[in-house]
Amino acid sequence: MGKVAVGAAVIGGAAICAAASLIVRHHVRSSRRWVKTAEILKELEEKCATPNAKLKQIADAMTVEMHAGLASEGGSKLKMLISYVDNLPTGDEEGVYYALDLGGTNFRVLRVQLAGKSGIKSQEFAEVSIPPQLMIGTSQALFDYIAAELAKFVADEGDKFHLPPGRQRELGFTFSFPVMQLSIDSGSLMRWTKGFSIHDMVGQDVVAELTHAMKRQGVDMRVSALVNDTVGTLAGGRYDNKDVVVAVILGTGSNAAYVERAQGIPKWHGPPPKSGEMVVNMEWGNFRSSQLPLTEYDNALDVESLNPNEQIFEKMISGMYLGELLRRVLYRMADEAALFGDIVPQKLKTPFILRTPEMSAMHHDTSPDLRVVGSKMKDILEISNTSLKTRRVVVELCNIIATRGARLAASGILGILKKLGRDTVKVGETPNTVIAMDGGLYEHYTEYSKCMENALHELVGDKVSDTIKLVHSNDGSGIGAALLAASHSQYLEVDDS
């Protein structure tokens, strides 16, 4: 063999060896990558575990905190706020009433025409997005913006609705943030949640602020009822079904309200309500317990949030945070396991870029190649050409995070049922317990809502489960506010006489 041939053979052999070496290194890297990915996945699954025994402990802790919050102001992380709603709608209400529903990044203005026993004759609404800068600006800027939209909504109705001479329009104001209610039509903001942070508003009366803004915008309207969205949902649910005793919101944020016996509220020092009952706004998003299955991702999200060390339960179960928890796990997998290649995708570093609706769409993807997952990865995070194996990991992460949230929400409901004594069936008694549900998370994230309902069934058993019904109270918070404006109208006594 000539020298040239030998040289060529050596070079060829070296090239083959180098290629083989590259392939081996690639396989080793790939193998290590998937081993590390599997480790992170398994660790998350273990830390997010919610066996029934743990959920029952969490429910017990919820019940204990409810008692403490009802006993005294500041007695619990659960505020157990007195709503001053002791006369829920009866179905006899008549007339045209308005509602303003401020609960997140959008607000809605509604007009509802009530026709007594015939029910709701008509309803119309407009939805408006809140510019992000107004969520962290001044109270005057925010409420002037809202009042201006309210003015447009009223102007558009023209001569369609005529009020009796000398009467004002009346409004139910759904304000879905923690408020220390002072009466049915006044209350001071305790703190912001859901991404709002307007410092000059904290401690101020939100009804007074809205009233001033309406005057500045030329809107002649009186706020007859200030309600939390959950209290509004309860009122809307009760209007349709007299067995509604609990309302739960699962949307951007999360909360619950229920009907409590007045004598079960030691901190209530006002005159006894005629009905003997009072709606209590729990503010359950602020619930915490050593039993909650917190992870490093929850802790980091909390520390970096606008309200650190607050709303821990909400941050584990609500729509604002589920997608962000998913992003944080994916970021760790990208960083430590090179799930998306050697470089961590830039977009994956952006907080809250992955929203819960996108997480829901990926979780619900049933296509053989998980193409929805692939398109969301590409469109939102600019991660192209993900393998089917990678997409399956993403779906599994969605499942773990959503399952934990849904099952924790079920344990919260069990805590309320325990407080009401409706977690067991007593001999000779079969009270129907209807729970009014609202919020985009419950309505649109089907895997989440199904999981929550299944978990509640598991926790209470077949017999009790037969007495419990969850109903979707669509737009309950807005319609409920209008109904409460009607049941607390300044003209009620005049009309009765």
With a CB cutoff of 8 Å and minimum separation 6, the contacts of 239 are 88, 89, 91, 479, 480, 483
| Of residues 115, 125, 111, the one with CA closest to residue 91 | 115
CB 197 within 8 A of CB 142: no
Q: Which of 185, 229, 438, 475 is catalytic?
A: 229
State the catalytic residue, choosing from 83, 108, 238, 489.
Answer: 108
User: d(Cα 231, Cα 443) in Å, to the nearest integer?
Assistant: 18
Do 470 and 457 form a contact (C-beta atoms < 8 A)? Answer: no
Distance in angstroms (rounded) separating the CA atoms of residues 419 and 443? 26
Would residue 298 show up in a list of annotated catalytic residues for this protein?
no
495: annotated active-site residue: no
Q: Is 328 a catalytic residue?
A: no
Please report, as a single letter, which amino acid is at residue 439.
G
Q: Do 85 and 279 meet the contact criterion of CB atoms below 8 Å apart?
A: yes
The Cα–Cα gap between 66 and 480 comes to 24
Please state, in angstroms and rounded to a whole number, the distance separating the CA atoms of residues 246 and 151: 34
Strands 106-115 vs 179-183: parallel, antiparallel or unpaired: unpaired
> Using CA atoms, how far apart are residues 410 and 455, in angstroms rounded to an integer?
6
Which contacts qualify for 428-434: CB closer than 8 Å, 24 or more apart? 430/467, 431/243, 431/467, 432/243, 432/467, 432/469, 433/243, 433/245, 433/246, 433/467, 433/468, 433/469, 434/237, 434/241, 434/243, 434/244, 434/245, 434/246, 434/468, 434/469, 434/470, 434/471
- Give the active site residue among 76, 176, 224, 449: 176
Q: Residue 221 corresponds to which tokens in the numbers above?
A: 């309207």
For residue 95, the tally of other CB atoms under 10 A from its CB is: 19
Q: How far apart are CA 278 and CA 259, in angstroms?
A: 6
Give the residue numbers marked as catalytic. 108, 176, 229
